């Protein structure tokens, strides 16, 4: 049985943009065939079949599967390189001539600072970060779409951040987990608001319009766990189903009157002059494959996290604690 294949190059996606080539590939996924036989099945001239077949072969989706000679006539068989394919392709921002080091995961102010400082130094790489949520960042790392994942996923049963999720998602791979910072999360409200929102329980009942985070974000996972613990149905919270991608988006929604309250980091509340009711401190980690730790981008990342200057800058961000910035743990696969 052929293993599950991966489509992870732009030229492969482009090749399958033609519906005829996609149909030929799907036919060859069910079993080998020859050009003449495919011509009869698709009611097309063999030269037409050969043109599309060769394009699929060039991008690695089709391969030769042997030859059969009958009465001085040799016919080649072709097959798909896998019985099924998944598509893993990341469309990243332009980074000019430098190779991108992709950081995917949770939105974070210290990460923005780190990215900026890493890109001012020497090297043939550029760090590019995008806020997709903690869980999606780890999935992207698992799939090879991200070089680094940023996450703050709390496991209540283990009473720990991130490590329980990493052991579950990466049982076969060694990872380095490095603390970026600890940061304070809480409820943001407009200054002088008549809405009394000091705890999660205050969101229930239909009187407070809530600005929620996206599914898979560490903040959303914490909120859902807290709602379950309190026995609060999400349907009782107006705005629960409206998802925002970053802490800044949540703060902006509250500051412009689009919501009465939102859950996020103190730094976002400070940026928009919002009132802030603290709820918990959390650990935000950067995660990458242990076998890449000696590569230049990762060595420079660790050096920057360990520097007194960077820790001082992180400590000046509202609600951030840099005491453990740079602390690392290697998780064996």
Q: What DSSP letter does each residue of 191-229 carry, written as one string?
A: TT-S----SGGGGTTSSS-EEEEPTTSHHHHHHHHHHHH
Co-location of 232 and 299 in the same domain: yes
**How does residue 94 score in pLDDT terms, banded at 50, 70 and 90?**
low
CATH label of the domain that carries residue 48 = 1.10.10.10
| Exposure letters 110-148 (e unless 16+ CB within 10 A, then b) | bbebbbebbeeeeeebbbbbbbbbbbbbbbbbeeebbbb
| pLDDT tens profile 238-263 | 999 989 989 999 999 999 999 999 99
Tell me the percentage of the chain whose pLDDT exceeds 70.
97
| pLDDT tens digits, 153-189 | 999 889 999 999 999 999 999 999 999 999 999 999 9
Q: Which two tokens stand for residue 228?
A: 């379950």
- What mean pLDDT is reported for the chain? 91
- Domain shared by 133 and 59, yes or no: no
* Model pLDDT for residues 253-297, shown as the tens digit of each residue: 999 999 999 999 999 999 999 999 999 999 999 999 999 999 999
Which residue stretches of the chain are H helix? Answer: 10-15, 19-29, 35-42, 46-58, 109-119, 134-142, 163-169, 218-230, 247-255, 266-271, 296-306, 308-315
d(CA 111, CA 317): 11
Q: Which of 64, 87, 110 is the last residue of a domain?
A: 87
| Same domain, yes or no: 99 and 77 | no
Question: Are residue 198 and residue 143 in the same domain, yes or no?
Answer: yes
Condensed to tens digits (0 to 9), the pLDDT of residues 298-307 reads 999 999 999 9
Q: How far apart are CA 252 and CA 16, in angstroms?
A: 41
Number of folded domains in the chain? 2
- Highest-confidence segment of 86-90, 109-113, 190-194: 109-113
Give the whole-angstrom CA distance, residue 212 versus residue 217: 10
Please indicate, yes or no, whether residues 208 and 285 belong to a single structural domain of this protein: yes
Q: Which residues contact 122 (CB under 8 A, 6 or more apart)?
A: none
Of 38, 68, 87, the domain-final residue: 87
Q: Percentage of residues in the chain with pLDDT exceeding 90?
A: 73
Domain extent for 238: 95-333
Which three-class secondary structure state does DSSP give residue 70?
A: strand
| CATH code for the domain in which residue 150 is found | 3.40.190.290
Residues 226 and 141 placed together within one structural domain of the fold: yes
Residues 229 and 329 occupy one common structural domain: yes
pTM for this structure? 0.80
Residues 233 and 272 in one domain: yes
pLDDT digits (tens, 9 = 90+) for 45-55: 999 999 999 99
Residue finishing a domain among 87, 121, 156? 87
Sequence length of the chain is 333
Give the β-pairing of 99-105 and 85-87.
Answer: unpaired
Exposure string for 315-324, b = 16+ CB within 10 A, e = fewer: eebebbbbee
């Amino acid at each position: 049985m052929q293993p599950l294949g991966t489509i992870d190059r732009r030229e492969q996606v482009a090749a399958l943009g033609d519906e005829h080539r996609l149909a030929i590939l799907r036919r060859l996924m069910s079993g080998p065939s020859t050009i003449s036989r495919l011509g009869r099945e698709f009611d097309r001239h063999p030269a037409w079949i050969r043109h599309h077949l060769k394009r699929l072969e060039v991008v690695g989706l089709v391969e030769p599967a042997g030859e059969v000679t009958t009465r001085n006539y040799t016919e080649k068989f072709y097959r798909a390189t896998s019985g099924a394919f998944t598509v893993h392709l990341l469309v990243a921002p332009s980074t000019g001539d430098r190779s991108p080091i992709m950081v995917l995961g949770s939105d974070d102010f210290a990460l923005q600072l780190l990215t900026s400082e890493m890109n001012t130094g020497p090297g043939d790489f550029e760090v590019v970060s995008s806020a997709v949520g903690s869980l999606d960042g780890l999935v992207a790392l698992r799939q090879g779409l991200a070089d680094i994942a940023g996450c703050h996923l709390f496991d209540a049963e283990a009473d720990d951040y991130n490590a329980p999720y990493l052991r579950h998602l990466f049982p076969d791979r060694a990872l380095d987990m490095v603390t970026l910072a600890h940061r304070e999360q809480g409820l943001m409200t407009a200054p002088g608001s008549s809405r009394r929102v000091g705890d999660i329980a205050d969101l229930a009942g239909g009187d407070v319009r809530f600005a929620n985070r996206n599914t898979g974000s560490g903040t959303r996972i914490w909120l859902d766990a807290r709602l379950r613990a309190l026995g609060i149905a999400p349907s009782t919270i107006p705005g629960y189903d409206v998802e925002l991608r970053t802490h800044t988006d949540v703060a902006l929604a509250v500051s412009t009157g689009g919501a009465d309250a939102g859950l996020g980091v103190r730094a976002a509340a400070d940026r928009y002059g919002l009132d802030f009711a603290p709820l918990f401190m959390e650990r935000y980690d950067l995660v990458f494959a242990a076998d890449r730790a000696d590569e230049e981008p990762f060595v420079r990342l660790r050096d920057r996290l360990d520097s007194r200057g960077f820790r001082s800058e992180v400590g000046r961000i509202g609600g951030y604690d840099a005491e453990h910035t740079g602390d690392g743990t290697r998780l064996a696969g």
